[in-house]
Amino acid sequence: MNTRKSIFLPLAIVSLGFMSGQQKVMQTDFSKGTWEQVGNGLQRQWVSGAESTFAFWKMDQGAHVPPHQHPNEQVTYIAKGSVRVLMNNKEHIVKAGGVLIIPAGITHEFFCLEDGTEDLDFFTPVRQDWTNGTAGYLQQQANPLETVAQFNDMRPGNVAVSRNGRTFATIHPLGSPQQQLVEIVNGQPVSFPSAGLQKNGGKAGNKKFDTPLGITVDKENRLWMIDMGLELGKTRLWCFDLKKNRVTEKIDLPADIAPQGSFVQDVAIDEKNEWAYLADIANPGIIALNLKTKKARRFSGHSSLQSEDVDMIIDGKVIDFGGKPSRVAVNPITLSDDRETLFFGSMNGTTWYKVPAKLFRENADDITIGHAIQKFGNKPVSDGAATDKHGNHYITNPGGHSISKLNANGALSDFVKDARLKWPDNVAVSEDGYLYISVNQLNTTPAFSGEADQGKPPYFIYRIKL
């Protein structure tokens, strides 16, 4: 697939918004965006306003959109290459510069005739079948997701699975939860390790949870949880013994390493060398913590830790955070199976990076670490990630309602695409070969939408066989 930037769009920045009532103007830049892989040789980006949808397609020769129809009038402009369209038992060859108008309710079918074809489509009214994922030609034939848990009154945050198949989840702090950490028992969330550690609507304290999010289970079957401490103003790393179901350690990160206002939300554990690696998105950086000595250091200032200037687009809408287009920095962080390579990337970013973990263990300076950082591959704008023992990376793709797979050779593909993946937040790989996925519609929370919570329960933890 040729994914170089288009030289056509005279309006490289597309602005939609019909200024009717309170409809806001929305602006994004397709030249900086990520492409959704819809089918073989077929990629798209799209946005919707109040009354219309605009789509930009890139196609390889042989790409095919099966017969379909929709209640939308469609205006197609071929910017580059050519396509063959079957409609009303007639064939239409549309070459670069050609326009085809497809009336509402008419069955039509597209065939791409040239590599590098670029197709601009305008639809009215809004393509609701794209928004709700019911467009038949975009659906997977199989339905591989299994429901692990359903949440009716709280959003799962991150998910982790023990070596013997126990499932744990934090409850996302953006949902103002009563509980903070649960175990899934018979499909239902139960306070873990006890109700006494949960805030339950009260105040956080030194002996209670505050605002945890990132969790993981290490190879010694210990559960680790990073608590951002947004109320107490301090970041803590909790460790739980899963045999005795109790807290075994609670490490307070020093104020100079994780000062008040930090948003340390993801964690990776190296049980072999006894180190923890944490990602802070507020002051973009990686915190490396020696679990033996409890000494920590911060690596920051490097360009790989920053957000890229790229929008997250979900269901045709640019996603805001804090009242402006989301630009979230370093977020998912994972380790290779041998614990020698650290992987990371920003949420609003399209690059997955790697760096030798021993540089942190040996206390290398920031310049040395910065020079050692390399691009491993491309990724979607994402929230969470997990790396399996074979070197495959599973990366959430909220905009594509999917999970992407970046294999050990750096090739990116869709692993699973399903309309039910409404903001897949985090993933975890289990010992018995499943990928667990927490789904929480995070874009509907006030922090992202700027409005009252628009989430529509239930929220889910799913799993899929690898």
The stretch 443-456 carries a mean pLDDT of: 90
Instruction: Specify the residue for token string 């190296």.
Output: 270
Model confidence band, residue 240 (pLDDT cutoffs 50, 70, 90)? very high
CA atoms of 208 and 200, how far apart (whole Å): 10
Alpha carbon separation from 463 to 16, 160, 223 (Å, rounded)? 37, 12, 19
| SS3 per-residue string spanning 336-366 | CCCCCEEEEEECCCCEEEEEECHHHHCCCCH
Question: What pLDDT digit, counting tens, does each position of 281-307 carry?
Answer: 999 999 999 999 999 999 999 999 999
Q: What is the pLDDT of residue 183?
A: 98
Question: What pLDDT digit, counting tens, does each position of 114-137 carry?
Answer: 999 999 999 999 999 888 777 766
Model confidence band, residue 142 (pLDDT cutoffs 50, 70, 90)? low
Most confident of 129-143, 199-213, 218-232, 438-452: 218-232
Q: What is the pLDDT of residue 4?
A: 33
CA atoms of 164 and 270, how far apart (whole Å): 19
Percent of the chain with pLDDT over 90: 79
| SS3 per-residue string spanning 220-254 | CCEEEEEECCCCCCCCEEEEEECCCCEEEEEEECC
Q: 73 by DSSP, 3-state: which?
A: strand
Model confidence band, residue 21 (pLDDT cutoffs 50, 70, 90)? very low
Please tell me if the domain spanning 13-138 has the same topology as the one spanning 146-465: no
Contact 466, 433 (CB under 8 A): yes
> Please, what sign has the CA dihedral across residues 101, 105, 106, 110?
positive
Q: Which comes out higher in pLDDT, residue 267 or 138? A: 267
Question: What pLDDT digit, counting tens, does each position of 391-406 carry?
Answer: 999 999 999 899 999 9
> Looking at domain 146-465, what is its CATH homologous superfamily?
TolB, C-terminal domain (2.120.10.30)
Q: What is the pLDDT of residue 270?
A: 98
Amino acid letter, 201: G
CA angle (221 as vertex; 226, 364 as ends), nearest 5: 55
Question: What pLDDT digit, counting tens, does each position of 338-349 carry?
Answer: 999 999 999 999
Percent of the chain with pLDDT over 70: 93
The stretch 450-464 carries a mean pLDDT of: 93
Residue 293 CB partners (closer than 8 Å, separation 6+): none
CA atoms of 366 and 391, how far apart (whole Å): 26
User: Is the predicted pLDDT of residue 368 greater than 70, yes or no?
Assistant: yes
Residue 463 CB partners (closer than 8 Å, separation 6+): 145, 146, 148, 430, 434, 435, 436, 437
Residue range 13-138 forms a domain whose CATH class is mainly beta
Please report which helix (H) or strand (E) contains residue 404, including its range: strand 402-406
Domain ranges of the chain: 13-138, 146-465
Cα dihedral value 207, 208, 214, 219, nearest 10? 50
CA atoms of 446 and 452, how far apart (whole Å): 6
Q: What is the pLDDT of residue 138?
A: 59
Q: 79 by DSSP, 3-state: which?
A: strand
CA atoms of 440 and 434, how far apart (whole Å): 19
Model confidence band, residue 12 (pLDDT cutoffs 50, 70, 90)? very low
Residue 237 CB partners (closer than 8 Å, separation 6+): 224, 225, 226, 227, 249, 250, 251, 253, 267, 276, 278, 289
Task: Write down the mean pLDDT value for the chain.
Answer: 91
CA atoms of 289 and 361, how far apart (whole Å): 9
Q: What is the pLDDT of residue 230?
A: 93
H helices of 336-461, in order, are 358-361, 366-372, 446-449
